[in-house]
């Protein structure tokens, strides 16, 4: 029995050594492959950035490499950033942050000090990090192509001329994705951020917060389906002797698809909004709550994908202009080239079954105010096939509701008597309300028909812009 166990242990050690050897050989090739793929992708996107390998020292359990990232600014000296790579060979690895299991793990550290020196700048920036590397990270490559990416911005504190800026605990993120980078799941922890200006007696503080992501499909660099959520305990601003606070903030976005197309929702919630300012306290007896929400369903998926591709091209144009020295002439050309594509893709989103709801509400005690807009596309023909504004309006059903509580108005709402007298609003026991309805080309406000077509005139029969595509 002991011999069997001994042979088993020896066999496992042998497999580990063979695995380390194979992984070490593969790591050297993988670095070259990834650099080539990255440079090809940057060139395809016309981004003036390139990556080159400066050195590679192969070891048995780990290897060391140094790469250089070059950013070519138009008519300016290129910016060079060298990055140190610590490559650990799988299947079992022991980097400083703990054991890992995978094909290999690449830890990277940009040489910020060398970049500052190359740019002719002093290292005062680095002093704020108290000897820590400003940015570090790593990539764990799985056995079957998946990868986990870790990034960390170190805590810092800067002070100059009576102003201070600090980030407690830094920013730490970890994400997992598949081999094609079509999914992304993970989280980011943000340390508390504070800013102070003694000359203006003002301070700004954002407490620690977190972002979680579970993106199940990425298309053209954006989330097609999945969920994002952000939580913040509080943010505080002190200025001119008053303190303003927003607490219990929650932001969430969700997108998914079914047989009807893309559907989803988003919301921003503030559990408490308060201020010690006298004007705020004179109007409200206590903190306010606020919520913004948006819900949609029935978006055409192919059009949504097209829209995301167009949006990616326009974003890339912005990046290229920025990295190229801020030349905006190309942005104007890009805008003109892509505008028809944007209009066509946007119109293509709307088909029968599309529904959209949007609203904002603010509450304080028993009082609440807000507005809600709901719209449906009820025509059998998709919006993109409509030729004129008149035809497009005939496919829309929508309703807008606005309510204002008297507690949110000074003078018991006397200012609202003018819109009430003109028929734009009606008085209710608690405040004022207004309701507009649009039904396939017919508009009414508080039950009264509005002849808006007379005001638009010939504009109703002009050809819609996406028809020119």
Task: Tell me the per-residue pLDDT of 356-381, one tens digit each, with 9 for 90 and over.
Answer: 999 999 998 888 999 999 999 999 99
**pLDDT the model gives residue 411:** 66
* Residue 281 DSSP SS3: helix
| Cβ-proximal residues to 186 (8 Å cutoff; 6+ apart), any chain | 148, 149, 173, 174, 175, 176, 212, 213
311 in Cβ contact with 222 (< 8 Å): yes
**pLDDT the model gives residue 265:** 97
Q: Where are the beta strands (DSSP E) in 276-347?
A: 288-299
Global pTM reads 0.85
C-alpha span between 104 and 144 (Å, rounded)? 12
C-alpha span between 21 and 104 (Å, rounded)? 11
| Cβ-proximal residues to 384 (8 Å cutoff; 6+ apart), any chain | 303, 344, 347, 348, 350, 466
In DSSP terms, 253 is beta-bridged to 228, 266
* Residue 64 DSSP SS3: strand
* Residue 292 DSSP SS3: strand
Query: Which secondary-structure segment (H or E) carries 150?
Result: strand 147-153
**pLDDT the model gives residue 49:** 83
Query: Which secondary-structure segment (H or E) carries 402?
Result: strand 396-405
Question: How many CB atoms are closer than 10 A to CB 245?
Answer: 16
**What are the backbone dihedrals phi and psi of residue 449, each rounded to the nearest 5 degrees, phi first?**
-65, 140
**pLDDT the model gives residue 438:** 96
Query: What is the per-residue pLDDT across 422-460, written as a single tens digit (0 to 9) for each?
Result: 888 999 988 899 999 999 999 999 999 999 888 888 889
C-alpha span between 312 and 47 (Å, rounded)? 13
Q: Taking Cα atoms as reference points, which of 405, 219, 359 lies closest to residue 303? A: 219
Distance between alpha carbon 155 and the CA centroid of its chain, in Å? 22
**pLDDT the model gives residue 343:** 85
152 in Cβ contact with 171 (< 8 Å): yes
Is the peptide bond preceding residue 91 cis, with omega within 30 degrees of 0? Answer: yes
C-alpha span between 426 and 424 (Å, rounded)? 7
**pLDDT the model gives residue 150:** 94
Query: Which secondary-structure segment (H or E) carries 9?
Result: helix 2-44
**pLDDT the model gives residue 455:** 85
C-alpha span between 288 and 408 (Å, rounded)? 11
Angle at 212 between CA 363 and CA 193, to 5 degrees: 70
Query: Which secondary-structure segment (H or E) carries 468?
Result: none
In the chain, which stretches have pLDDT less than 70?
1-28, 45, 73-75, 118-123, 322-331, 334, 411-413, 467-469
**pLDDT the model gives residue 75:** 64
**pLDDT the model gives residue 93:** 86
Query: What is the per-residue pLDDT across 87-146, written as a single tens digit (0 to 9) for each?
Result: 898 788 888 888 888 888 989 999 888 777 766 566 677 888 888 899 999 999 887 778
Tokens representing residue 421 in the block: 């007298």
* Residue 284 DSSP SS3: coil
| Cβ-proximal residues to 436 (8 Å cutoff; 6+ apart), any chain | 399, 400, 443, 444, 445, 446
Residue with tokens 């998709």: 382
C-alpha span between 40 and 104 (Å, rounded)? 23
26 in Cβ contact with 87 (< 8 Å): no
**pLDDT the model gives residue 128:** 87
**pLDDT the model gives residue 14:** 38
Angle at 75 between CA 72 and CA 76, to 5 degrees: 60
Task: Spell out the alpha helix ranges (H) of 88-226.
Answer: 112-118, 124-127
């Amino acid at each position: 029995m002991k011999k069997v166990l001994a042979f088993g242990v020896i066999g496992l050690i042998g497999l580990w050594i063979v695995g380390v050897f194979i992984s070490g050989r593969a790591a050297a090739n993988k670095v070259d492959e990834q650099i080539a793929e990255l440079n090809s992708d940057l060139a395809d996107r016309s981004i003036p950035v390139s990556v080159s390998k400066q050195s590679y020292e192969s070891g048995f359990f780990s290897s060391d490499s140094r790469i250089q990232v070059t950013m070519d600014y138009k008519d300016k000296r290129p910016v060079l950033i060298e990055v140190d790579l610590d490559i650990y060979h799988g299947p079992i690895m022991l980097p400083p942050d703990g054991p890992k299991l995978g094909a290999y793990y690449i830890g990277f550290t940009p040489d910020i000090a060398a970049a500052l020196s190359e740019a002719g700048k002093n290292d005062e920036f680095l002093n704020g990090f108290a000897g820590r590397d400003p940015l570090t990270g790593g990539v764990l490559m799985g056995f079957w192509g998946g990868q986990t990416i870790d990034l960390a911005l170190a805590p810092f504190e800067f002070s100059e001329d009576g102003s201070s800026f600090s980030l407690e605990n830094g920013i730490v993120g970890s994400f997992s994705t598949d081999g094609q980078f079509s999914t992304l799941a993970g989280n980011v922890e943000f340390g508390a951020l504070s800013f102070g200006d003694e000359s203006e007696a003002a301070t700004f503080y954002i407490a620690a917060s977190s972002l979680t992501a579970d993106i199940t499909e990425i298309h053209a660099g954006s989330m097609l389906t999945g969920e994002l959520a952000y939580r913040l305990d509080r943010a505080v601003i002190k200025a001119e002797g008053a303190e303003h606070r927003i607490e219990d903030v929650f932001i969430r976005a969700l997108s998914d698809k079914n047989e009807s197309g893309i559907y989803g929702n988003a919301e921003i919630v503030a559990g408490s909004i308060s201020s010690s300012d006298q004007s705020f306290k004179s109007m409200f007896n206590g903190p306010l709550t606020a919520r913004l929400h948006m819900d949609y369903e029935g978006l055409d998926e192919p059009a949504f994908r097209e829209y995301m591709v167009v949006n990616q091209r326009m974003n890339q144009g912005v990046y290229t202009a920025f990295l190229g020295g801020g030349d905006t002439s190309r942005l104007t050309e890009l805008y003109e080239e892509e505008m028809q594509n944007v209009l066509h893709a946007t119109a293509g989103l709307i088909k029968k079954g599309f529904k959209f709801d949007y609203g904002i509400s603010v509450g304080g005690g028993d009082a609440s105010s807000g507005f809600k807009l709901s719209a449906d596309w009820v025509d059998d023909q998709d919006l993109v096939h409509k030729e004129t504004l008149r035809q497009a309006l005939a496919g829309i059903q929508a309703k807008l509701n606005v309510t204002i509580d008297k507690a949110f108005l000074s003078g018991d709402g006397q200012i609202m008597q003018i819109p009430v007298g003109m028929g734009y609003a009606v008085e209710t026991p608690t405040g004022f309300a207004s309701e507009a309805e649009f039904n396939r080309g017919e508009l009414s406000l508080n039950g009264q028909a509005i002849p808006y077509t007379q005001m638009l005139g010939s504009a109703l029969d002009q050809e819609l812009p996406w028809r020119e595509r």
